[in-house]
Each structure stands twice: as C-alpha cells, then as structure tokens.
Amino acid sequence: MKKRIPLFIVFLVGMLMIIQFFIPHRLSVTFYTGFLNWFTAMVLFALIIGIGTLLNRHFKKIKRKDDDWGFSIVTITGFFGMLLIGIFGGIGEGTLFMKLFEFVLTPLQATMFALLAFFIASAAFRAFRARTFEASLLLIAALIVMLGRVPIGDKLTFGFASTLTEWIFRIPNMAAKRGIQMGIALGMIATSLKIIFGIERSWLGSDD
C-alpha cells in the first residue's frame, strides 16, 4: 500500500497529462495550468527542507570546529544577509539587494564561468592527440572549426576553413546530432512510459 498508492498516482497523473495533450478544450487548459500553479506552491516547501539540510551541515561544522569551519559562517551569513535584505529592503531597482546582485553575485558567476576558457584550453591540450583514428577525427574537426570561426584563421587558410566549417556543421555534424537527438527522444519516451506503467519503480527506493 505504501508503494501501490504512489504508483497509482504516477499512473493517473501521467495518463491525464498524456490525454490533455490531445484536448484543446478550455477545461483541459485550465486543468493543465492549474497543475503548473500547484508546483509553484509545492516547490517552496521543498526549498525550505533543502535550505535546512545545507544550514544543518554548516551549523554542525561550526559546532564540531571542523576544518574550515570559519567559512561555514560565511555561507550562513551570506544566506540570511541576502534573505533579510531582500525581505525588508525590497528587490526592485536601486535597492541594496540589487547592488549585492550586481557586485557580488555577478562577478562570482561570471568569473566561475570564465574558468571555462582555461579548462577548455587544458582539456584540448590533453585530449586532442592523434592516438587513434577516432581521436584524430575529433582533433581535425575541432582544429578546422576553430580556424573557421575567427577572421584571422580564415585568412590563413584562404577562406578554406570557414567553408569547410560550414560544411561540417551542415552535413556530418547535423547527421550526428539528428541521430543522437532521435535516440534521446526514444530514450526519454521509454523512460517516461516505464515510470507511468510502473515498470520502473526505483524512484521509490528499492523496486524488488
């Protein structure tokens, strides 16, 4: 019963969602958007639990005086600071909330993302060795596209790189992407159907 009811709910909700796709009637639309609003209502409570697990972890670190426990204070202060500033100071233009967004969150996100420039260079250096036939293909395609994407590279190859880049994107790359995409679509549908029909029950924990 502890498993049967949830499995039945999954089946019911899943089937309703499939059926409503075929019904253009207002009722179906209302039903659907109503459901979506439900998730907006539900997500907050999950978030509260989520935040609880994070804070709990950091409080424990502080209490136990683990390594780096001082940094846990930074996280906790950062969270409550931002939350209270937002709740009491508002979140519109010109508020402290937006200032913190602009001068703390923005540089942090942007810099974290910018690390990718370094990592892509080092990954390219390590991985792009003509060890096997497949690896050589990867290497050559990557080199051509890199040259084809910038004006200088194109000049160096007398326009050859950009023409070939365009060709690679339109023909082999497209074929590969389509093949992968179709496979993924099949996989997604299979996974969804497995779950709806209760063939896959592992999301409930053990399925045996």
- H runs (alpha helix) in 65-103: 69-89, 96-100
Give the Cα-Cα-Cα angle 196, 198, 200 (nearest 5 degrees): 100
φ/ψ of 96, rounded to 5, equals -60, -35
In the complex, least distance from residue 158 CB atom to another protein, rounded to whole angstroms: 14
CB 192 within 8 A of CB 171: no
In the complex, least distance from residue 97 CB atom to another protein, rounded to whole angstroms: 7
In the complex, least distance from residue 11 CB atom to another protein, rounded to whole angstroms: 7
In the complex, least distance from residue 167 CB atom to another protein, rounded to whole angstroms: 9
Within residues 62-81, the interface with another protein by CB under 8 A covers: 67-68, 71-72, 74-81
Long-range contacts of 102-105 (CB under 8 A, 24+ apart): none
In the complex, least distance from residue 119 CB atom to another protein, rounded to whole angstroms: 4
Q: How far is CA 28 from CA 18, 32, 35, 49, in A?
A: 11, 6, 11, 32
Which one among 62, 64, 65, 153 touches another protein, defined by CB under 8 A? 153
Which one among 62, 65, 106, 160 touches another protein, defined by CB under 8 A? 106
Of residues 41 and 65, the one with the C-beta less far from another protein: 41
Element (H or E) spanning 13, and its range? helix 4-21
Within residues 168-197, the interface with another protein by CB under 8 A covers: 168-197
Q: Is residue 206 involved in binding another protein (CB under 8 A)?
A: yes
Which tokens in the block code for residue 56? 């709990």
CB 28 within 8 A of CB 20: yes
Within residues 35-54, the interface with another protein by CB under 8 A covers: 35-51, 53-54
Which one among 98, 157, 160, 163 touches another protein, defined by CB under 8 A? 98
In the complex, least distance from residue 205 CB atom to another protein, rounded to whole angstroms: 3
197 contacts: CB under 8 Å, gap ≥ 6: 11
Which one among 59, 62, 99, 158 touches another protein, defined by CB under 8 A? 99
Q: How many residues bind another protein (CB under 8 A)?
A: 162
